[in-house]
Structure 1
Amino acid sequence: MYALSSSLVRSPALRQGLQKAAANRQVSLKVVSVGSTIKDESFFEKNERLGRQMSPHLTIYKPQLTSMLSIMHRGTGMAMGVGVWSLGIGALIASQDISHYVTMVEGLQLSAASLTAIKFIIAYPFGYHAANGIRHLLWDTGRFLKIKEVYSTGYVMVATSVVLTAILALL
């Protein structure tokens, strides 16, 4: 390293200083066993020993529209995934065809309001996820990213998801 450094230094005084520093430099190595370097303490024990406080947790934050919409987006995505998997597996293991199960539901003689409510609950994850997905696509274009716009598009998205879901439930 000294040879490279001294060749790059044009000042004779600085070059002489580098030579003296290199001559006085001492390096010593200490051999330690591997067992002494491995700690058996957990992450939390280490933080306690070092006096580090626990990071803020979700329980201390006031819920915000943005965080609630994000949680709902993930929840509706998981609900749709579970629903699709359930329908697929159910179709594979069902002993009857779909008309048999439709007849069973018709036999329950549910009111029109009850059927609409059930269809609304089933359709809501799709309506919400689709509306919020469009909002995210708009964000990907660089639009509506100011905090006021994020909140206003959030409220518009919630209203749109309810309207979309109501349309699907009334079909």
Structure 2
Amino acid sequence: MNSSRALGLGPVFRQAAVASRTSRDRRLTYTSLFDRNIQTQSLPPSAAEKILNEQRLKRPSSPHFTIYQPQLTWLGSIANRITGAGLSTLMYAYFIAYLAAPETFASANVIELVGSMPDIVKYAGKTILAAPFAFHSLNGLRHLSWDLTKFITLKGAYSSGYAVLGATAIGTVALVLM
């Protein structure tokens, strides 16, 4: 079987073979007269980067906060990242300060400083440290359970999320009262 028949291109090939030279020239002249002149402009790489950055600013954030209703799963994920970054920052800051001035940040000096503070400041400081620590630790266990394919369903994700929030509250109170 001929491939032009299978595709239905036979009439097109016949028309192209039979068409006179003048009709082809007429079509070429017509298209060249009415073609739009397109002008291009060469841009330096810095201008191209500026255009790209302007386009990126117009993109919505993900998840699109104005469309989607806040959900426990992504709020917990954001809170887990924030608490992890905050705790890491505090830990590194203390270690760098200890390396810079070991006499000032020795354990005995820190205990003496905290002991001389009023009780309300002690409890506020312990709460500020205990709440992120408890949440981040317990939510990390939740993520490990997901890695073990536990609580993966929607119901399981929400029940484990509420369990983490409840255990965080209990754990924070327990750590503050120590």
Q: TM exceeds 0.5?
A: yes
Match of 2:114 among 96, 102, 105: 105
- Looking at structure 2, the residues matched to 44 and 145 of structure 1 have their Cα atoms a distance apart, in angstroms, of 38
1:121 equivalent to 2:128? Answer yes
Match of 1:130 among 112, 137, 145: 137
Larger Rg: 2
Summarize the Cα distance change of 1:118–1:137 in structure 2 as closer, same or farther, 3 Å threshold: same
1:145 deviates by 1.5
Give the paired residue count: 143
Local SS of the residue matching 2:149: coil
Asked whether the 8 Å contact 2:114–2:122 carries over to 1, the reply is: no
Summarize the Cα distance change of 1:70–1:34 in structure 2 as closer, same or farther, 3 Å threshold: same
Asked whether the 8 Å contact 2:73–2:161 carries over to 1, the reply is: yes
1:75 equivalent to 2:78? Answer no
- Looking at structure 2, the residues matched to 44 and 75 of structure 1 have their Cα atoms a distance apart, in angstroms, of 26
In the alignment, residue 72 of structure 1 is paired with which amino acid? A
1:58 deviates by 2.5
> % of aligned pairs identical?
30
TM (norm. structure 1) is 0.65
1:126 deviates by 1.6
In the alignment, residue 91 of structure 1 is paired with which amino acid? Y
TM (norm. structure 2) is 0.63
In structure 1, the residue matched to 2:175 is 168
Q: What are structure 1's unaligned runs of at least 5 residues?
A: 1-11, 18-32, 48-52
Match of 1:62 among 66, 69, 80: 69
- Looking at structure 1, the residues matched to 107 and 132 of structure 2 have their Cα atoms a distance apart, in angstroms, of 23
1:145 equivalent to 2:155? Answer no
1:44 deviates by 6.5
Local SS of the residue matching 1:162: helix
- Looking at structure 2, the residues matched to 149 and 46 of structure 1 have their Cα atoms a distance apart, in angstroms, of 39
| 1:94-152 deviation line (CA, Å, top 9, x unaligned) | 252332232233223x12x5423321211222211111111111111222122122111
- Looking at structure 2, the residues matched to 82 and 46 of structure 1 have their Cα atoms a distance apart, in angstroms, of 33
Summarize the Cα distance change of 1:105–1:44 in structure 2 as closer, same or farther, 3 Å threshold: closer
How do 1:23-42 and structure 2 match up within 5 A?
Answer: 35=42, 40=48, 42=51
1:45 deviates by 6.1
- Looking at structure 2, the residues matched to 98 and 46 of structure 1 have their Cα atoms a distance apart, in angstroms, of 52
- Looking at structure 1, the residues matched to 53 and 161 of structure 2 have their Cα atoms a distance apart, in angstroms, of 38
In structure 1, the residue matched to 2:34 is none
Summarize the Cα distance change of 1:105–1:61 in structure 2 as closer, same or farther, 3 Å threshold: same
Summarize the Cα distance change of 1:61–1:107 in structure 2 as closer, same or farther, 3 Å threshold: same
Summarize the Cα distance change of 1:114–1:43 in structure 2 as closer, same or farther, 3 Å threshold: same
Summarize the Cα distance change of 1:35–1:74 in structure 2 as closer, same or farther, 3 Å threshold: same
